[in-house]
Amino acid sequence: MLLLYSDPELLIVSDSVRMVGEEDYQRISRLMSAEYSDSLRRRHIPSANESVCGALLLAEATLMFGSSCAKVTRGASGKPAYVSGTPCFSISHDNNAVICAVSTKNVGMDLMALPVRFGPETRRRVAARFFTEAEAELVVKSPDSDGGRTFARLWTAREAASKHAGGPLGEMLGCELPNVGKYLHFDFTLSGEKYTACCYC
């Protein structure tokens, strides 16, 4: 496990995704609502591995944060949350890595592997369609050699803000990002792979 950030109000950790087994599902069933844990069992590998590893990382992070683990369920918007309401958390995964933020207040977290899996022209088209004009210009001006890092940092910020709001990503596309909270960006290496992540809280 990699500790990325820690203060009294926020903890962010990341770990590699691994193959999960029956013992992991049993542990998850004690941490999640029956409906939520059953939905994980019905997922296809590797999606199930990523989700179960995310839930296990959440349990570890919650204990590191000094809280006890309660059952996790989905709220009205579909956002996972502890039944008790606290602490707040957000989980993301990509390319065999999972990241988790646990906080005393609402939080959104997103992760993207680097280099981005699609080329510069596609990144520019996506940015022109879904980012603000100023952000799209940053993507256009970014060197191809950055592997899409500029694009990934902007995209993960939108995803993190969307998860914070508890709404669909579409509500954060093409508009100015909220600026009432703070954005924390992280670039890190895990098991030899590079990632960028954003937390909005």
CATH code at 55?
Answer: 3.90.470.20
Asked if 74 and 129 sit in the same domain, the reply is no
Residues 86 and 44 in one domain: yes
pLDDT averaged over every residue in the chain: 89
Question: What is the extent of the structural domain holding 14?
Answer: 2-107
* Domain co-membership, 100 together with 71: yes
How many domains would you assign to the chain?
Answer: 2
End-to-end CA separation in angstroms for the chain: 22
DSSP line for 6-27: EETTEEEEEEE-----HHHHHH
Q: Of the candidates 107, 122, 147, which is a domain's last residue?
A: 107
CA dist 172 and 81 (Å) reads: 21
Give the model confidence (pLDDT) of 61-114 as tens digits: 999 998 877 788 877 777 888 888 889 999 999 999 999 999 999 999 999 999
Strand boundaries in the chain, DSSP class E: 2-7, 10-16, 72-74, 80-82, 88-94, 97-103, 108-114, 183-190, 193-200
User: pTM of the entire structure?
Assistant: 0.89
Which of 78, 107, 136 represents a domain boundary (last residue)? 107
Among 49, 73, 107, the domain boundary falls at 107
Do 15 and 98 share a domain, yes or no?
Answer: yes
| pLDDT tens, position by position, 33-57 | 777 777 777 776 667 788 889 989 9
